[in-house]
Amino acid sequence: MNYTLEPIATVLSPFTHKFGIPRQPGLATEAIAELQLLPPYNRAEAVAGLELSSHIWIEFIFHKSPNSNADNFRPSIRPPRLGGNKRMGVFATRSPVRPNALGLSVAKLEKIDTSKGVSLLVSGLDLLDGTPIVDIKPYVPYADSLANASNQFAAEAPATLAVTFAPEAAAKAQAYSAPYGTDLTRLITQILSQDPRPQYQQPDLERRYGINLYDLDIQFRYRPDGHDSWCIEVTYIATV
């Protein structure tokens, strides 16, 4: 039996490219996104009562990731957390390469606007701009937060890297914060501290890496931190 999923909303997100998107929700709390409900679902009564919830579950489609089906099903993948060298079963991971390309994310609900259709302002989201949303549900703490839950594969959050800004980049981050309605310095720090580089790649000290937020080109480089690890310096910020 086949089923058809119809998007109910789309995401307006600061993440305009896949590289640099946090690997889990909630890691970049300064990432503010908007869920715009689509007709005929953009009616105020469809979200009546949702304001009683501090967080929401968002079910979405990995629309920019390759997905498998019965003919080219991939039973195992190489998670970035394992350095890209070890395999795990696809259903034991949150890889975007899935049989039905469906994802699940949680976000903090900041505001509901029903003045023109329906839009939900959320924070901490980890979705690409334009992601199709197929369902929205309220987060229920007593059922969704389990005190005795465990995951030995990802028992704790990965270690973070120190992030610094070159003087000119620091000035640009401060200047651009007001137009985008967010603390850009904090947002960039939250994203880059998670180390967007694939873990199987050693940092190239001569290379300038880059991510895109909104319409900004943000470049950075790796430097040894003097303690057998790396730190990141943001060197350049400009509009694309």
Question: 195, exposed or middle or buried, with CB in 10 Å at 0-12, 13-18, 19+?
Answer: buried
What are the average pLDDT values for consecutive 10-residue runs of the chain, which has 240 residues?
A: 91 93 89 97 97 97 82 82 77 87 95 96 95 97 90 77 95 94 94 86 88 95 84 94
Kindly report the CATH number assigned to the domain that includes residue 43.
Answer: 2.40.30.70
State residue 84's pLDDT score: 63
pLDDT at position 53 = 97
Residue at 27 is within a domain: yes
Look at the chain and report how many structural domains it folds into: 2
* 92 within some domain: no
- pTM assigned to the model: 0.89
2 lies in some domain: no
**Residue 127, number of CB atoms within 10 A of its CB:** 26
Q: How far apart are CA 190 and CA 163, in angstroms?
A: 9
Is 212 among the domain residues? Answer: yes
- 22/140 same-domain check: yes
The predicted pLDDT at position 65 comes to: 83
Residue at 120 is within a domain? yes
Q: How many angstroms separate the Cα of 216 from the Cα of each of 12, 46, 132, 164?
A: 15, 35, 23, 18
Do the domain assignments include residue 74? no
Q: What is the pLDDT of residue 201?
A: 78
Longest Cα separation, the chain: 59
Judge whether 150 lies within some domain. no
Burial of 126 (0-12, 13-18, 19+ CB in 10 A): buried
Residue 134: inside a domain, yes or no?
A: yes
Answer yes or no: do 15 and 132 share one domain: yes
Residue 235 belongs to what domain range?
A: 162-239
Domain shared by 26 and 125, yes or no:
yes
Q: Quick one: 132 and 179 in the same domain?
A: no
Instruction: Examine the domain organization and report whether 121 and 196 are in the same domain.
Output: no
Q: Are residues 178 and 216 in the same domain?
A: yes
